[in-house]
Amino acid sequence: MPTFGFLIDNRKCIGCHACTVACKSEHEVPIGVDRTWVKYIEKGTFPNTRRLFTVMRCNHCDWAPCVTICPVTALYRRDDGVIDFNSDRCIGCKACLQACPYDALYIDPVTDTAAKCNFCTHRLEQNLEPSCVVVCPERAIVCGDLDDPNSEISRLTQRHPVQVRKPEKGTRPKLFYIDADEASLVPSRTAADGQYVWSDGGVAGVESSSPQPNLITAMDTAGGSKTRPQPTDSGNDHTLAPARRAYDVRPRPELWGWAVVGYIWAKSIAAGSFLAVLAVRLMADLGSASRLALPLGCLALLFLIVTLVLLVADLKQPKRFLFVLLRPQWKSWLVRGAYILVGYSIVLVLWIAASAADWSAAAEILFWPGVVLAVLAAVYTAFLLAQAKGRDLWQNALLSVHLLAHAVVAGGAVWLLTALVVAPPSTFAARMFMAITVVFSLLALLGELATAPPTDDARLAIRMIVGRPMGMWFWAGGIGAGHIAPLVLLLTIDSLASGAAALLALFGMGVIERLWILAPQRVPLS
């Protein structure tokens, strides 16, 4: 069985876009999205300038993170090495778009399912080359069997130095470039000054009406200049650096927005509310524990329902949401998380029923599995985000601690608010628990910032969070309102101040989740 791959010979590419047009025609790709496109980079100052062309597309990786994260096997690796997709199975969760480090996937606006280059498999099966290869006037695009030493692509890769995009991701891509320029292959190496057609597409986190900053300067400001290798030109004239982006695809919008932020926020409350039942048992008197347990369990169930509704609402194909449970791909943490949430909801309903019926033995048996499932429900999203290999900030090992901290903060806030309503005299333990959890959350957050992955993309995301354009939300909303203000208010014994502290903590938690979800998505991948 052959193993197919692509090779782009940058010595020959003239930037004619014939490959893009042929691909659109062959697959009826809608306007506004592309399976393959040509990126223009300019280097130097007039009259000593040079324009470079780079063809972008799916890399058909040997280890494809899009396949691993897909919950329903809509994306799969064929025996010939081609990464293909089945739009009839796709639920439109957009996880594959986050997992791809190469920005190769898109949501088809007609079918509302994921799509990408599939190597023209319908042509391969007829022993025909992909349409982009056929139409290229310079034979700058070569495809073939990488395992056949006599194939054209094998001969070229053996005779010439070749580059791949983002080899540090470990995806083993099968899209090779001859004479590629690093400024073309690595988005953070290229300034996007907004002076050319669509050239502002690479500026992350900047509104279209704002001045367009130099992305290289942004990386240096983020602390990357000391350790980041300087751009190389693979044999080109080094005096022409730095580079600027002259032509690219349209800016990519955030794939996961308010619904995903809301789902993580609601899930933290759903998990934290039941963990608060455990905290009440350990820290409060017996009377308070008996009065608070059932209301906290009911709140956990309420926010768990909100979580599930938001998960389904964010799908492009919400009618297919049961595919996650009925056609699961078990490597995906989206599938594992769905089963965790379903298991948690079942145990929670049974525990609430047993507690309401005063079946203490049954309630006690169900309680501890519920605690375990609550912890898993709180942290599993960290493992899902870690599978999104395209977003470097989400690869931090402390992200699970971050989410657990938010769950216990939410639990403390819900406990305090519930105690103010159900058992007003017994709020001391709730205030103490909430203060401890807020300090834990603050330490986890600072630790995550300090241990961010040492990559340009992660540093740029951190810079956007703590600086412009999101710094005001982070410092005033996340740190000030979400952590410092609650700690100050909890020093008082006033009920109104305690309630305000709980609400501010929940608000700050939502702000932090919003920044952590949106900022990495504003970092360009191509």
Backbone angles phi, psi at 417, to 5 degrees: -65, -40
Where does the pLDDT of residue 492 fall: very low under 50, low under 70, confident under 90, or very high at 90 and above?
confident
pLDDT top residue among 44 and 500: 500
Where does the pLDDT of residue 252 fall: very low under 50, low under 70, confident under 90, or very high at 90 and above?
confident
What is the mean predicted confidence (pLDDT) over 1-20?
A: 94
Looking at the predicted structure, is the pLDDT value of residue 314 above 50? yes
Under a CB-based contact definition with an 8 Å cutoff, are residues 485 and 455 in contact?
Answer: no
Pick the CATH number of 258-521 from 3.90.1150.10, 3.40.718.10, 1.20.1630.10, 1.10.150.120: 1.20.1630.10
Looking at the predicted structure, is the pLDDT value of residue 423 above 80? no
Q: How far is CA 23 from the centre of its chain?
A: 28
Under a CB-based contact definition with an 8 Å cutoff, are residues 219 and 229 in contact?
Answer: no
Looking at the predicted structure, is the pLDDT value of residue 163 above 70? yes
For the domain bounded by 4-247, which CATH number is listed?
3.30.70.20
pLDDT top residue among 98 and 49: 98
Q: Looking at residue 183, what is its pLDDT? A: 87
Domains in the chain: boundaries? 4-247, 258-521
Mean pLDDT of the residues in the chain: 89
| CA 186/CA 54 separation, integer angstroms | 11
CA 65, 67, 68, 70 dihedral sign is: positive
- End-to-end CA gap in the chain: 31
Lowest-confidence segment of 121-130, 159-168, 206-215 by average pLDDT: 206-215
What is the mean predicted confidence (pLDDT) over 490-501?
A: 89
Residue type, 440: F
| CA 82/CA 80 separation, integer angstroms | 6
For 275, 368, 441, 513, the CA distances from 415, given in Å and listed in that order, are: 10, 19, 17, 21
What is the mean predicted confidence (pLDDT) over 88-113?
A: 96
Looking at the predicted structure, is the pLDDT value of residue 8 above 90? yes
Whose structure tokens read 């709180």?
378
Where does the pLDDT of residue 439 fall: very low under 50, low under 70, confident under 90, or very high at 90 and above?
very high
| CA 179/CA 486 separation, integer angstroms | 57
Lowest-confidence segment of 122-126, 192-196, 483-487 by average pLDDT: 192-196
Where does the pLDDT of residue 196 fall: very low under 50, low under 70, confident under 90, or very high at 90 and above?
low
For residue 296, give the nearest of 278, 314, 320 by alpha carbon.
278
Q: pTM for this one?
A: 0.89
Quick check: helix, strand or coil at residue 208? coil
Structure tokens at 162: 């070749």
Q: Looking at residue 220, what is its pLDDT? A: 37
Whose structure tokens read 């951190």?
462
Under a CB-based contact definition with an 8 Å cutoff, are residues 181 and 54 in contact?
Answer: yes
pLDDT top residue among 248 and 365: 365
| CA 263/CA 304 separation, integer angstroms | 9
Under a CB-based contact definition with an 8 Å cutoff, are residues 505 and 409 in contact?
Answer: yes
pLDDT top residue among 401 and 232: 401
Q: Looking at residue 241, what is its pLDDT? A: 59
For residue 523, give the nearest of 188, 227, 211 by alpha carbon.
188
Q: Looking at residue 212, what is its pLDDT? A: 35
What is the mean predicted confidence (pLDDT) over 288-315?
A: 94
